[in-house]
């Protein structure tokens, strides 16, 4: 094995060690910490470009087109948080880079034990990241819930791995499974669904996303979601005849509808977008089910890549607006469009994209994913996914109305911070993907050939 295929992971590991080394100083220079975080993520992205797809394979690690594509998505979801960090907390920076390294290792995992190691490597820093990003009782409570949810997921995976090995005597792919192996594969899939926040395993997600700092919630809802989707796809590849695969479209449909309906009654913005994340996770689960049931085609991977790429812009942009504006509830949105017109206009574009309104990237992403589901014969799950998108328009368009057409409460404090440029950049990203979807579809097509 040469060093080159693992160069992105080496760059992130160097970033973690560099951050911890700077933390040994009495007063670590804030600019150096920020620069190191950005350089680590950007360096990993650049090194992933030069990774030879299919250039190596071993018992525990591999480099294939899918792993390279997912590394791009993970780094794309992590880059905004690297830009947001103020450099005052070296531990927070190290936790962020450590979680990203775990996700990157998951993208290169070749067998079940390595999947588990990467899963824990990305999860353990994430628990502390939630608690440390917003100190206080609420953040600690959410981190504890997140920890126990992750602990349950890890236990399910290890139990499933034991049953799978008892049946197949292998830790690699196996086509023929007895009922014992089927049960093991199902338990491992439950661990992946826990990480995605699938119904009914989504009880931890709203609390974790609401309690964390907005920029951390954006990281969790994009990079972590990309890693969890790949985790589920790897399980489908390792156990292609597992019974849980046939259940994925139904689970995805239930998750999409649950997230969309629960978001209708939310007043707090971060909690609302947490349930929106659950709804989008449901669409992704439908997409994974369609991909697995239709023969794991390259077109199915491209649709998932495009959706996750567009969602990286949409979710990071919306949470960045919450961070920039300092607003916490829907009622505080009223009339604020005139106060920050550029950021509010970008936020409006992101809401249109989340709602699937053309010509945004969100529309193209949902269209491609649901089209793959219809093509795989999953008519009623695709209809349920489309219904969840229709329901979501009630709160997305409602926030647009509040922002531009309602009277502002002048007694409420409103002190926008820095970061409007990131919101605008994310809005430009979804417009580019909507106007020229070939920008990512051509990339994902090349990665899946």
User: What are the Cα distances from residue 276, in Å, to 80, 115, 345?
Assistant: 19, 27, 20
Of the chain, the percentage scoring pLDDT greater than 90 comes to: 27
Residue 4 or 280, more confident: 280
Tell me the mean pLDDT in the region 245-252. Answer: 92
Q: Is the pLDDT of residue 369 over 70?
A: yes
Q: What is the pLDDT of residue 277?
A: 92
CB 299 within 8 A of CB 320: no
State the number of CA atoms in the 13 A half-sphere of 348 facing the CB.
Answer: 16
What average pLDDT does the structure give for the chain?
85
Of the listed ranges 121-130, 234-243, 244-253, the one predicted with least confidence: 234-243
pLDDT digits (tens, 9 = 90+) for 160-172: 888 888 888 877 7
Q: What is the pLDDT of residue 294?
A: 84
Q: What is the pLDDT of residue 401?
A: 92
Q: What is the pLDDT of residue 299?
A: 80
Confidence of residue 387 (pLDDT cuts 50, 70, 90): very high
> 259: closest CA among 77, 391, 399?
391
Give the alpha-carbon dihedral of 389, 359, 300, 190, to 10 degrees.
-30
Residue 208 or 251, more confident: 251
Tell me the mean pLDDT in the region 23-39. Answer: 84
Q: Tokens 């591999």 sit at which residue? A: 62
Q: What is the pLDDT of residue 2?
A: 46
Tell me the mean pLDDT in the region 106-110. Answer: 83
Q: What is the pLDDT of residue 72?
A: 85
Confidence of residue 284 (pLDDT cuts 50, 70, 90): very high
Of the chain, the percentage scoring pLDDT greater than 70 comes to: 90
Tell me the mean pLDDT in the region 86-108. Answer: 87
Q: Is the pLDDT of residue 1 over 60?
A: no
Tell me the mean pLDDT in the region 55-71. Answer: 72
Residue 262 or 28, more confident: 262
Confidence of residue 201 (pLDDT cuts 50, 70, 90): confident
User: What are the Cα distances from residue 56, in Å, to 3, 95, 334?
Assistant: 10, 29, 55
Q: How far apart are CA 396 and CA 362, in angstroms?
A: 13
Q: How far apart are CA 420 and CA 293, in angstroms?
A: 42
pLDDT digits (tens, 9 = 90+) for 424-438: 999 999 998 888 766
CB 96 within 8 A of CB 132: no
Q: What is the pLDDT of residue 30?
A: 81
Q: Which letter, b or e, does each residue of 258-268 get, where b requires 16 or more Cβ atoms within 10 Å of its Cβ?
A: bbbebbeebee
Of the listed ranges 47-51, 157-161, 203-207, 393-397, the one predicted with least confidence: 47-51
CA dihedral (426, 135, 19, 100) positive or negative: negative
Of the listed ranges 82-96, 265-279, 432-446, the one predicted with least confidence: 432-446
pLDDT digits (tens, 9 = 90+) for 329-362: 888 888 888 888 888 999 999 999 999 898 888 9
């Amino acid at each position: 094995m040469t060093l080159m295929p693992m160069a992105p992971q080496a760059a992130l590991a160097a970033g973690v060690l560099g951050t911890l080394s700077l933390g040994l100083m009495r007063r670590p220079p804030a600019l150096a910490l920020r620069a190191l975080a950005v350089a680590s993520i950007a360096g990993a992205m650049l090194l992933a470009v030069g990774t030879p797809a299919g250039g190596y394979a071993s018992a525990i690690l591999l480099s294939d087109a899918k792993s390279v594509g997912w590394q791009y998505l993970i780094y794309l979801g992590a880059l905004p948080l690297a830009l947001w960090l103020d450099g005052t907390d070296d531990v927070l920076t190290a936790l962020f880079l450590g979680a990203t390294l775990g996700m990157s290792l998951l993208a290169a995992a070749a067998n079940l034990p390595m999947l588990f190691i990467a899963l824990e490597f990305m999860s353990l820093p994430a628990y502390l990241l939630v608690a440390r990003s917003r100190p206080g009782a609420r953040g600690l409570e959410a981190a504890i819930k997140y920890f126990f949810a992750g602990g349950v997921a890890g236990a399910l995976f290890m139990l499933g791995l034991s049953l799978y090995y008892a049946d197949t005597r292998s830790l690699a792919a196996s086509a023929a499974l007895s009922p014992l192996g089927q049960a093991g594969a199902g338990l491992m899939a439950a661990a992946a669904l826990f990480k995605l926040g699938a119904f009914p395993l989504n009880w931890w997600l709203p609390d974790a996303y609401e309690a964390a700092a907005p920029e951390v919630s954006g990281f969790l809802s994009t990079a972590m979601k990309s890693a969890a989707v790949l985790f589920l796809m790897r399980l489908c590849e390792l156990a292609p005849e597992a019974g849980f695969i046939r259940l994925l479209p139904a689970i995805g449909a239930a998750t999409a509808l649950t997230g969309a309906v629960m978001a209708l009654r939310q007043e707090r913005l971060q909690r609302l977008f947490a349930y929106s994340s659950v709804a989008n996770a449901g669409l992704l689960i439908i997409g994974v089910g369609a991909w697995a049931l239709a023969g794991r085609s390259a077109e199915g991977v491209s649709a998932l890549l495009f959706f996750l790429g567009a969602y990286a812009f949409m979710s990071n942009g919306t949470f960045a607006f919450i961070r920039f504006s300092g607003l916490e509830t829907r009622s505080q949105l009223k009339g604020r469009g005139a106060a920050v017109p550029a950021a509010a206009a970008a936020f409006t574009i992101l809401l249109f994209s989340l709602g699937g309104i053309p010509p945004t990237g969100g529309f193209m992403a949902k269209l491609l994913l649901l089209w793959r589901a219809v093509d795989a014969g999953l008519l009623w799950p695709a209809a349920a996914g489309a219904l969840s998108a229709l329901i979501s328009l009630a709160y997305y368009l409602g926030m647009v109305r509040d922002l531009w057409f309602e009277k502002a409460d002048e007694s409420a404090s409103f002190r926008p911070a820095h970061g409007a440029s990131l919101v605008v950049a994310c809005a430009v990203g979804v417009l580019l993907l909507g106007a020229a979807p070939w920008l990512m579809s051509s990339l994902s097509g090349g990665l899946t050939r």
